Amino acid sequence: MAALNEKEFQNAFIQAFEGDDSGDRTPRQTPGKLYSRAAPTPVESPELLAWSKELATQMEIDPPSQEEVEILSGNKLTDSMQPYAACYAGHQFGNWAGQLGDGRAITLGEWSSKNGIFELQLKGAGPTAYSRHADGRAVLRSSVREYLMSEAMHHLGVPTTRALALVSTGDKVLRDMFYNGNPEYEPGAIVTRVAPSFLRFGNFELLAAQRETKKLQQLVNWTIDRYYPHLTESDRIIKWFEEVVQKTAFLMSEWQRVGFVHGVMNTDNMSILGLTIDYGPFSFLDHYDHSFTPNTTDLPGRRYAFGNQPSIGYWNLGRLANAISLLFEDTEELEKALESYEKIFWDYYYGMMGRKLGFEKVGKDEKELISRFEKVLSGIQPDITLFYRLLADLPSEATPEVIIKHLEPAFYNDLKPKEQEVLATLLTDYSKMRKNSRLSEEAIKRLMNRNNPRIILRNYLLHQAIEELEKGENKLFLRLQEAMKTPYASEGFEDLVQKRPQWAETKAGCSMLSCSS
């Protein structure tokens, strides 16, 4: 274990690539540069609100002293830190946006431990060359959401960036939450984000758009050497892309498993390591609705709605393939690798859904039943998290009326007679298939409960915790922080295992959010 202010940070990325070393944070284009130096801007009175002990232990970092809280707030740098903002481009809502970059995130450097090398990044630490006339700050509500959600996703078993610390700044930040001409001052905060790398599809798109082929080749080779070192063949670039396809397909299936909706799947928000990255207007599903998007900016097209996420993953991979196609004389193998996404995703998807339903193996009959579940549940729209947990305890010998009664806590509305009939028929067929399993009933329940979370970080709970923190209270925040560590537990935190209340259906910050959320 080591203290933040004592250990020497590494700076492999900026040592490997050309950047703008001026330190000038004036918004501008930086062609051919992969980063710009950017020192964090000091804040008034930093206070540590949260510290991820589990992540700190993995990284071998000692609990922070008050002096180290100054580092986590951007008020202090150590001699080995060489802070910078990365430059990348991207497609936003399907349209080419050109140069983007870290507008409110500053990387301090790389922390090494026996468990790997981790980039530490302060989100909300002030303006950079890529802030595009914004202030580079983050408000408490968005910082709380990112801190809790990234750690919640980790404990759910979903690939994700992590959050080490949450610090309030003591400063006020002006934000127009819904871009509707009603700006307000809100308390500021900074999240310390952690990942092996924050490289995105957009890093590669940037160099391709600038026709910087040599630098693109250098970035691809560096990425493979550092994060895919097992790829040593002469065709390693295509093998690398195949692995990115596989990781992205797996991530999409995991989002579908837990009912997570990212909300803004632009290519600059797609990790080259297959991690969930950039938590903004996200949400878990409450009622099961494929067309649900939590992002007001995504209306009315709903490009990034829950049911669209797998296809958007493919679309985004297409943009990455297009970028690296500059490195190929013949793109046939690249196109073949991209087209493999569909089969890979559906293999992951059916395997995942099989485990949610307690099937040891998924064949033709199981796939047909899974499709029926999708159709029926999309129609009646139960609370999807509660539904699958209740399904694990489905009475083995019961009439349709008893089955419906058992699942009633998951319904937001009373089922119509036809809906009851369709659901009862589906569950009767499911029960027969479940009885024919080679697994015991207890083994089926264990399998289902390992794959269907009982506790999720619902937006209304986040909203309540944020409101309390803004009043100086942290009881619910601390309770959520603990509850998210055991999402599959069979008991505990009963008050958090509830449907979304009616008052939260239309309340700002509970149902719909914006990209500033």
Helix (H) or strand (E) holding 185: strand 184-195
Return d(Cα 275, Cα 84) in angstroms, integer: 21
Is the backbone of residue 292 left (phi > 0), alpha (psi -120 to 50) or beta? beta
Residue 177's pLDDT is: 75
Q: Residue 346 carries which DSSP code?
A: H
Nearest to residue 453, comparing CAs of 352, 347, 306, 324? 352
Q: Contact 491/402 with Cβ under 8 angstroms?
A: no
Return d(Cα 403, Cα 443) in angstroms, integer: 21
Residue 398's pLDDT is: 74
Cα dihedral across residues 517, 156, 110, 45: positive or negative: positive
In sequence order, the β-bridge partners of residue 172 are 187
The DSSP line for 383-412 is BHHHHHHHHHT--SS--HHHHHHHHGGG-S
pTM equals 0.97
Q: Contact 167/188 with Cβ under 8 angstroms?
A: no
- For residue 416 the two structure tokens come to 């119509």
CA dihedral 278, 281, 285, 287 (to 10 degrees): -170
Output the CA–CA distances (angstroms, integers) from residue 269 to 31, 277, 340, 428, 438, in the order listed.
Answer: 21, 6, 22, 42, 42
Local structure of 64: helix, strand or coil:
coil
- For residue 137 the two structure tokens come to 């700050």
Q: Contact 481/151 with Cβ under 8 angstroms?
A: yes
Q: What's phi and psi for 195, nearest 5 deg?
A: -160, 155
CB burial readout 1-12, b (16+ within 10 A) else e: eeebbebebebe
The DSSP line for 18-49 is --B-S---S----TT-SEEE-PPPP-S--EEE
Residue 395's pLDDT is: 86
Local structure of 121: helix, strand or coil:
strand
Return d(Cα 427, Cα 9) in angstroms, integer: 56
SS3 of 224-274: the string is: HHHHCCCCCCCCHHHHHHHHHHHHHHHHHHHHHHHCEECCCCCHHHCECCC
Q: Note down pLDDT in tens along the chain; length 517 residues.
A: 999 999 999 999 999 999 999 999 999 999 999 999 999 999 999 999 999 999 999 999 999 999 999 999 999 999 999 999 999 999 999 999 999 999 999 999 999 999 999 999 999 999 999 999 899 999 999 999 999 999 999 999 999 999 999 999 999 999 887 777 788 999 999 999 999 999 999 999 999 999 999 999 999 999 999 999 999 999 999 999 999 999 999 999 999 999 999 999 999 999 999 999 999 999 999 999 999 999 999 999 999 999 999 999 999 999 999 999 999 999 999 999 999 999 999 999 999 999 999 999 999 999 999 999 999 999 999 999 999 999 999 987 778 888 899 999 999 999 999 999 999 999 999 999 999 999 999 999 999 999 999 999 999 999 999 999 999 999 999 999 999 999 999 999 999 999 999 999 888 788 778 776 5
Return d(Cα 194, Cα 60) in angstroms, integer: 13
Residues catalogued as catalytic: 268
- For residue 38 the two structure tokens come to 């950017």
Q: Contact 224/241 with Cβ under 8 angstroms?
A: no
Helices (H) and strands (E) in the chain, counts: 17, 11
Instruction: Match 């193996």 to its residue by tokens.
Output: 361
Q: Contact 493/479 with Cβ under 8 angstroms?
A: yes
Output the CA–CA distances (angstroms, integers) from residue 118 to 9, 111, 210, 423, 434, in the order listed.
Answer: 10, 5, 29, 48, 44
- For residue 336 the two structure tokens come to 């073949």
Q: Contact 269/91 with Cβ under 8 angstroms?
A: no
In sequence order, the β-bridge partners of residue 121 are 107, 193
The DSSP line for 196-219 is S---BHHHHHHHHHTT-HHHHHHH
Q: Contact 294/187 with Cβ under 8 angstroms?
A: no
In sequence order, the β-bridge partners of residue 168 are 47, 189
The predicted-structure confidence for 155-206, as pLDDT tens digits, reads as follows: 999 999 999 999 999 999 998 877 777 889 999 999 999 999 999 999 999 9
